Amino acid sequence: MGGRGETFAKQFEAKVQEATAVMEKLSDADWKKVTSAEKWPVGVTAHHIASAHQGIGGILKLLADGKAGPNMPMEGLHQMNAQHAKDFASCTKAETVALHKKNAAAAAALLRSIDDPAFDRSSAVFSGAPPMSAGQMAGILSSHIDEHLGSIRSTVGK
């Protein structure tokens, strides 16, 4: 709806394309290597990227709609991530790339649907941390890819 949403969506889509290209080129051996940052197999880290678009987008939507954020303790986030790593330890590349594309398209559409003033709305996302705005969460959609894609690249050398 607004210029900010379009800008955020384009930035995010560029990161998505970069991640997709890396994921699609991973060999079966690469998929099983363990990252030094997350201590998860590359495939699990890729699945984490793919599934997080939905979770981050959901928080962004709450904030943009003027609703309260989850006010989640960081330990809760770490526990959710650890459980995700266990639950998707045997995920396949095909299912992960498909999930990545599906969730990324939904997140980009969400970004484009938000009007400019809504990106300034904020609430507590993490307990004990300053409130975050919907615009900050939009930035996290892209930086989250950067963080974990960087880990995958350093692990597999691509």
Question: For residue 13, what pLDDT is reported?
Answer: 98
pTM equals 0.95
Question: For residue 108, what pLDDT is reported?
Answer: 98
Per residue in 26-68, pLDDT (tens digit) is 999 999 999 999 999 999 999 999 999 999 999 999 999 999 9
Question: For residue 42, what pLDDT is reported?
Answer: 98
Question: For residue 127, what pLDDT is reported?
Answer: 95
Residue 42 amino acid letter: V
Question: For residue 1, what pLDDT is reported?
Answer: 60
**Domain extents in the chain:** 3-156
Per residue in 74-120, pLDDT (tens digit) is 999 999 999 999 999 999 999 999 999 999 999 999 999 999 999 99
For 54-59, the CB contacts below 8 A with 24+ separation are 54/103, 54/106, 54/107, 56/107, 56/137, 56/140, 56/141, 56/144, 57/103, 57/106, 57/107, 57/110, 57/141, 59/125, 59/137
Question: For residue 66, what pLDDT is reported?
Answer: 96
pLDDT at 147 over 90: yes
Asked whether the beta carbons of 42 and 35 are under 8 A apart, the reply is yes
Question: For residue 100, what pLDDT is reported?
Answer: 98
Confidence of residue 158 (pLDDT cuts 50, 70, 90): confident
Identify the CATH assignment for 3-156 out of 3.40.50.10800, 3.40.190.10, 1.20.120.450, 2.40.128.120. 1.20.120.450
pLDDT at 9 over 80: yes
